[in-house]
Structures are given as C-alpha cells and as structure tokens.
Structure 1
Amino acid sequence: MSHSAILRSLQTIVPDTELRQDEVRDVFAAQPDLGRLAQRIVTASFNGSGIDTRYTVLDELSLISDAESPQFYDRASGALLSPATKVRNEIYVREAWKLYVDAARRSLESDPDITAADITHVITVSCTGFYAPGPDYEIVRALGLADSVQRYHLGFMGCYASVPALRAASQFCAADPDAVVLVVSVELCTLHLRSSEDPDMIVATSLFADGAAAGLVTARKFVSAVPGFALDRFHTGIIPEGKKDMAWMIGDEGFEMILSTAVPQLIGDHIFDALRPLYADRAELATAFDDGTIGEQIAHWAIHPGGRSILDRVEERLGLSEQQLGPARKVLRQYGNMSSATVLFVLRRILEQEGARDGDRVAAMAFGPGLTAEAALLTVVAPT
C-alpha cells in the first residue's frame, strides 16, 4: 500500500472494582479444599506475578460487597464459589456491552476529525464471552453508526487477538482508501476465575483481569495532526511445541485456561524464528536482529505482558533494556493480564507516557493459544 494505515485515538478503560493482589491472594490461599502444596503454589504465583492491582466487573470480588445471593464469593463464609458457564456468560452479556460502547465512544469523542458518520467498519475482539446480536451490533446502534457499517468479530483467539484485528483493519484500509475502522477489544477474564489445585489454573488466577480498549484505523488524511502509530508490517509465527502448553477451552464451570510453566522457556527458545520474518525486508533491522542489537534499532517494545516471567525471557533473549520493557511491566503491575486488550494498553502508554517521538520504531508482540506469536512493526506518528 502506498500509505500505511494509522492507529489513532487509542483509548483504554477498566471496570470500577479494584482488586488488590495481596488481598485476593489471601482469599484464594485460604480456601478449605486446598492442600498444602496448592496453598504454597497460590502464594508463590500471586507474589511473583508482578501485579499490584487488577480490575473486575464482579463487585463481589471487592471483598467488601455484601451480595444477598453471591455467585462468585460468599463473604460470610470466605468461600469462593464456582458458578456454571451459563451464569458466567450471562454476566458477560450484561456487563461487556457497556465497556464496548464506552471504549468505542471515548475513542470517537477523543478524535478531533473523525465522527460516527465516517466509520465504515467495526472489528470487535473478545475471548471471554459470547452472544448475538453481539457487541459489534451494540456499538453500531448505541453510537449511531450507519446500519451499513461492515461488522466483524474476532472471538476466542486469546491474548494475541488485537494484533490480527489491527492487521485486518489495515487491510481494509488498503482495499478502500476511504475506510475508517473502529477496533474495540473487551475482555472480562475474571468471570472465569475459580479456586483450583491445578497449578496451571492457579497461575491463570494470579494473572487475569478485565479491561477494554478501542482505537481508529484509517489511511485517510484529515485536517488535524493526531498522534498515533503507522501500521507498517505484521507477521504470525507458530511455536507448535507449545500447543499443549497454552490453550483456552470451554468447561462446565467457565472457560478453562491452560498456561503451563513451560511457556516462558518456549517463547525464549523460539522468539527469533517467530520474529525474524517481520524484519526480513529491512536490511538494517534484519542485521540488527541477527547480531543482537535489535534493541538499538527499535526504540519501543509493546510486548503483551502474559506474565512477569515471559517479559523476563523476552528481555533476556532479545537483549532489550529494562526501560524498553518498562511500559509492559507497568501495565502488568497496574492492570494485570487483560488478555487481548492488554497490548493496546501498552501501546497507549508508549505513545502518551514514554517520550515517544515522531518516527520512532515500535515492535508489538502478543502470545496466545497455539502457541501463536503475533507481531507487528509500527512507527510513531507524533506531529509537533
């Protein structure tokens, strides 16, 4: 394409209920059905998570709520409950659309030029609930978009899904120079948390949180100079050895995350193979990638913080600085792992709080079931 599509007006939101990691740890560790080993794993997982706070749509989990008919946490007994998948999904239906509409509205309202009438496509992203007519429909009706807006939903892909959503948006813009694509990710991961003795489930419980993000993607030229990211190039890599180590299944008591302790090692072992094609057509980047100086060529790294150990391994293998992984670590510490929405939180932080300058290169990367690594090469657009 002659001009890269630009991601602009990126906005992020979280629900009102804040979870303090140490308080949630104590509740999970105190469950009477846990054996001593599981209690130790809970303590270690929560303490080593790199998270201070998370957010949830479940008021019950605030630990101060006195719900008359608790579904997830009975404060009186201190017991964590395990509702059926149908109950969890009904809460998703009730709560998710508000975040979809709110995030989408904020993105539109923050843009000085783009209005509802300009939107040609809507892409919604989520892996934590289902319903139809879905969030894409809700956004069109609530924001007054044209009924003819093309709607797409990327569902159940896991933590990496916002990257293919941005790729699809850029492809729409390549096909139609007048396209303006609204991309919205909403994940309510806490709906699927529950007490367990399974180490993988315990790790997931210590990490996942709720959040939403939205942005506008277009190659159109507007009057105002708006900061954002040029979407230059995308690549999908697969680490087949990790298929069994990261998965997302539907069970009778919620969706079930498989997130084994082998994932950071697998990512570290294969990250060069997964990323090399992204830089293949740019000689200076390809050379830097192979000689270990890629961190000097690419200023900012929007790595999905799937967990602290994943960030540690990426930093070590790619020879990145502590500062380059700072945005991902700060998002993890403040918000936890919000699945597909998280990398958009990291990108927003890079643009607004990390001193990004016009022309700076950005590498974005997210990991999910498969084991799939989705990567993107971006350029900061920061008009002065």
Structure 2
Amino acid sequence: MTSINVKLLYHYVITNFFNLCFFPLTAILAGKASRLTTNDLHHFYSYLQHNLITLTLLFAFTVFGSVLYFVTRPKPVYLVDYSCYLPPQHLSAGISKTMEIFYQIRKSDPLRNVALDDSSSLDFLRKIQERSGLGDETYGPEGLFEIPPRKNLASAREETEQVINGALKNLFENTKVNPKEIGILVVNSSMFNPTPSLSAMVVNTFKLRSNIKSFNLGGMGCSAGVIAIDLAKDLLHVHKNTYALVVSTENITQNIYTGDNRSMMVSNCLFRVGGAAILLSNKPGDRRRSKYRLAHTVRTHTGADDKSFGCVRQEEDDSGKTGVSLSKDITGVAGITVQKNITTLGPLVLPLSEKILFVVTFVAKKLLKDKIKHYYVPDFKLAVDHFCIHAGGRAVIDVLEKNLGLSPIDVEASRSTLHRFGNTSSSSIWYELAYIEAKGRMKKGNKAWQIAVGSGFKCNSAVWVALRNVKASANSPWEHCIHKYPVQMYSGSSKSETRAQNGRS
C-alpha cells in the first residue's frame, strides 16, 4: 500500500509540476515588479522604442505561424453516434442449441456417415463452448436454424443484409441524418465478400449519392474495425464538411467448419452474429451533439514475419473442407504484436511521469542487462479510463488483462460482451463501448481505448475522448439486459459458478 501511495504522489507531482511551480514564481515576479522604480520603467520604454522593427517582425512572425498552424492542422474527427445490431430473440443460440446446429450440419453432409461418426469431435466442441466464456443468449444466423441448415450464398447474403441494414436503420433514426449527406462509406467484412460488394449493397439499400467515396475491406480479420476507422479519419482530413459512415461485421452462415480438424473447430465455438454502424463527422457544428472525439489511431502489422503471417489462416483440411486454422504460435505472435502496438501508443497517451519511469528502466536494462529482467510496464490506467479489448475469446482477454496490469472492472465490458454476444469479430469493441455507456460510467473528458487483434497478424488501437457525459443511445443492445451484468465467469485458469452480481453498478 505504501508503494502505491508513493507512486501516486510521484505521478501527482510530475503531472502538476508546472502548477506547483507557477505560484511561487508568480510571487517572486510580483515581488520584483513591486520594487521597480520610475527610472527602470523609463529604460524599458526606451529599449522598446530603439528595437521597434525587431519587435514588429517578431510579432508578425508569431501571428503568421499561429495562422499557418490553425489552417494546416488536421480537423477534429467526431463520433456523432453508433449503433450495434441486436438480432431477434428467436435467433438466440445457447450451448445446447448450438450443439444441435453442429449435429444437423454434420448430418446433412453427403460425405459423412453419421451412424459411423466419431462422437469425440462433438464432445470436443461442447467442452470448448463450456469453457469459452460465452453465455446462453448469443445469436446465430437464420439459415442455420433450419433443418437441414442452409449454408448457401443466398442465406449468407440474407444474414449480412439483416445485420447491416438493422444497424444502419437504427443509426439513421437516432441521428436524424439524411443518407444523402454521407460522403464517405467504409464497410469491412473479413470472410464474406460477394459481388456486388457489401458497400454497394449499402449504397443501393439506402440510396446514397452517386459521388460517394466507398470502400470495401475484406480478409483483414477481427481488427479491421479500427482499420476502417483509421481510413475514414484520413479521408475526413481530405474531404471537408462531410460525414463518414463505417460498417463493421462478419458472416457466420458460410463459415461454419464441418470437418474434424480441431484447430479449425475452435472458431465454431466463438463466433456469433453481430455488427455495428458508426457515424463520423468533421463538421465543426457537430461537436455539440457528438459523443466522442477521435484522439489517436495506431496500427501495427507484423505480417513480414512468416509465423505472424501464417498463425491464423483460412485453408482446406485433409478432406477438402474449408476452415480457419489457428497455429500453436498464435499466443506468442499476439503478445509480440500487442507489445509493439502499445509501445507506439504509449508516448501518445501516457502522462510524463510514466514516460520518465519507462525511459529510466529502458536505459538501466541496456546498461545492466541481466540484472533487470523486464522493461517497466507503464500504468495505462493513469492515461485511459475505459478499456475495450476485443472479445476474441477468454484467453485473449486474460492475456491482455495480465500484461497491462488491469483489474477485473477494467475488462468487465469485454467479458460481458463475450458472454452476451460472443465474438462478433470487428464489431465487438463497439458492443463493449455500448456496455460502458449503458452502465453510466462514461463521463466528460474520459478516454476509451479500443484494442483489437486479427489475422495477418495485426493489432490496432483507437483512443476516443468523451465530449460529454455519454448515455446509451436509443435501442442499445444492452437496453433490456444491462441489469444482469456483470456475471462471474471464467477468469485465468479458475472456473467459477456463473451468477449475476446485481448489486454492482
């Protein structure tokens, strides 16, 4: 406890160093000013008169530099509002229902003899599901609830259209923005990229204008949501006085793996239906009604390394069935990529006190080498108020919780999102932000850090600053269930009985 108090005192002194020095310096200057004589003032005025040209040039240079800075600096990017898709209740898929879907899919496979089928694969799927951190209220796609399940292109389109159109309709209703006002559109879906593209589908459905700058991002994994935000930000810095619409989703229907390769079966237990639509603006007049200002985006790509490139890979198994294979290197690759990302983000957000400690330990490790085992891990809780860690799975959340030194409440939004909605890929970080708002925790000036990892291998971060006390938007996905959360779930290597903690705000 003493060490914690000392560190807090150190942080306070360094952070408020200027303020602590300001008042003594002001008193000293005031004391000296009071002792100035008339003769001293006469000499000062005389000096100004003899150096009038120099002072005029200095003043003009200062004004010119200030004007140049304000004209050329990037305009702020505001998050007006966003919407997360909430599927209808009849698509709710608990563990038993999901296992029934898996069984029906295997049964409908013409190449499989169910009577002679090895039940160990289904047992493996059930065990993974029970330990995954997912609850019994996640959602599956419409086509897979039928018998036999529909896994065709039409069903996949139906799923994606329901998710994207549902999120966008709610967003437009909440913001009262006319779709014709949208100047930039970015849609990301990693595994499902039909022709016409999903971005073209949005243009057609909502009758967006013909000169819209539209982009469709595919194959970029679960971290593509931040990539889409970063792309929209860059475009908003170029195209003035407009809106950018970002849509993040993933498709389940055609991406259920039906083989027996266990490294490919894991994804079946984690991914569920979900999506988010985000409205960004660079209009100065939108600041007052916007929720957040985008402070930073940091993208890290380690795909130049062969292990990183191949640790998450879509491929065919020995029987020709397509799935996503996870290699044994994924944990190490993810750790290295995340470390590089936060090393880049740290100098942008951390207070001076943490930067000093990091530099000191960095230099000491270089000089002393073996005597210091690890670099100092900065305390990001001094710079960030809320953490939205991609709900890729219980292991992902556990690792980042440990490596960043976070407390259970810091990862509550991530664990609750995983439990309630499962891994919704690139949109999961928006369900997490919506959770924080629904709990009433987002206050004016708070910073929220969204961090996501994905194939390639990539780690991407976005930091938002709340422009007001942010409340949950209408039709929030947590609107009817926030009182049930948080729940006590798996944490680390221990298993706890799942139960509601209704007393915690």
> Normalized against structure 1, the TM-score is what?
0.85
Distance 2:182 2:188 in 1: 17
User: Displacement, 1:28?
Assistant: 4.4
Paired residues of 1:265 and 1:313 also in contact (CA < 8 A):
no
Amino acid at match of 2:163: L
1:5 aligns with 2:72: no
User: Displacement, 1:222?
Assistant: 3.1
1:21 aligns with 2:88: no
1:242 aligns with 2:308: yes
User: Displacement, 1:308?
Assistant: 0.4
1:338 aligns with 2:424: yes
Distance 2:454 2:316 in 1: 16
- Structure 1: runs of 5 or more not aligned: 73-82
Judging changes above 3 Å, is the alpha-carbon distance between structure 1 residues 34 and 228 closer, same or farther for their aligned structure 2 residues?
farther
Paired residues of 1:122 and 1:136 also in contact (CA < 8 A):
yes
Amino acid at match of 1:248: Q
Q: Which residue of 2 aligns with 1:364?
A: 450
- 1:13-44 per-position Cα deviation (integer Å, ceiling 9, x unaligned): 14331110244246648975664654453232
SS in 2 for 1:222: helix
- 1:155-212 per-position Cα deviation (integer Å, ceiling 9, x unaligned): 1211111101001111111112312101112322243113332222221111011112
Distance 2:328 2:379 in 1: 28
Superposed counterparts of 1:202-351, under 5 Å: 202-222=265-285, 225-239=288-302, 240=305, 241-249=307-315, 256-260=323-327, 262-282=329-349, 284=351, 287=355, 290-351=376-437
Judging changes above 3 Å, is the alpha-carbon distance between structure 1 residues 320 and 383 closer, same or farther for their aligned structure 2 residues?
closer
1:133 aligns with 2:202: no
Distance 2:196 2:223 in 1: 24
More strand by share: 1
Question: Which has the larger Rg?
Answer: 2
Q: Which residue of 1 aligns with 2:125?
A: 42
User: Displacement, 1:352?
Assistant: 3.5
Moved over 6 A (4+): 250-254
User: Displacement, 1:11?
Assistant: 0.3
Paired residues of 2:391 and 2:418 also in contact (CA < 8 A):
yes
Q: Which residue of 2 aligns with 1:107?
A: 171
- 1:269-316 per-position Cα deviation (integer Å, ceiling 9, x unaligned): 552222211222445176287443112321111111111011000000
Amino acid at match of 1:15: P
Superposed counterparts of 1:65-144, under 5 Å: 65=146, 67=147, 70-72=148-150, 87=152, 89-112=153-176, 114-144=177-207
Amino acid at match of 1:196: G
Amino acid at match of 1:272: Q
**2:464 aligns with one of 367, 378, 382:** 378
User: Displacement, 1:96?
Assistant: 1.8
Distance 1:34 1:373 in 2: 39
Judging changes above 3 Å, is the alpha-carbon distance between structure 1 residues 306 and 116 closer, same or farther for their aligned structure 2 residues?
same
User: Displacement, 1:128?
Assistant: 2.8
- 1:131-158 per-position Cα deviation (integer Å, ceiling 9, x unaligned): 2222222222322321221211111211
Paired residues of 1:361 and 1:379 also in contact (CA < 8 A):
yes
Quick check: 118-127 or 35-44, which moved more?
35-44
Judging changes above 3 Å, is the alpha-carbon distance between structure 1 residues 131 and 282 closer, same or farther for their aligned structure 2 residues?
closer
Distance 2:97 2:157 in 1: 28
Amino acid at match of 1:95: E
Distance 1:203 1:10 in 2: 30
Judging changes above 3 Å, is the alpha-carbon distance between structure 1 residues 225 and 362 closer, same or farther for their aligned structure 2 residues?
same
Paired residues of 1:162 and 1:344 also in contact (CA < 8 A):
no
SS in 1 for 2:450: strand
Higher relative contact order (CA 8 A, sep 6+): 1
More helix by share: 2
Q: Which residue of 2 aligns with 1:76?
A: none
Paired residues of 2:377 and 2:404 also in contact (CA < 8 A):
no
Paired residues of 1:161 and 1:340 also in contact (CA < 8 A):
yes
1:188 aligns with 2:251: yes
Amino acid at match of 1:278: L
Paired residues of 2:101 and 2:144 also in contact (CA < 8 A):
no
Distance 1:208 1:99 in 2: 14
Judging changes above 3 Å, is the alpha-carbon distance between structure 1 residues 35 and 265 closer, same or farther for their aligned structure 2 residues?
farther
Q: Which residue of 2 aligns with 1:57?
A: 141
Amino acid at match of 2:437: L
Tell me how many residue pairs correspond in the alignment. Answer: 363
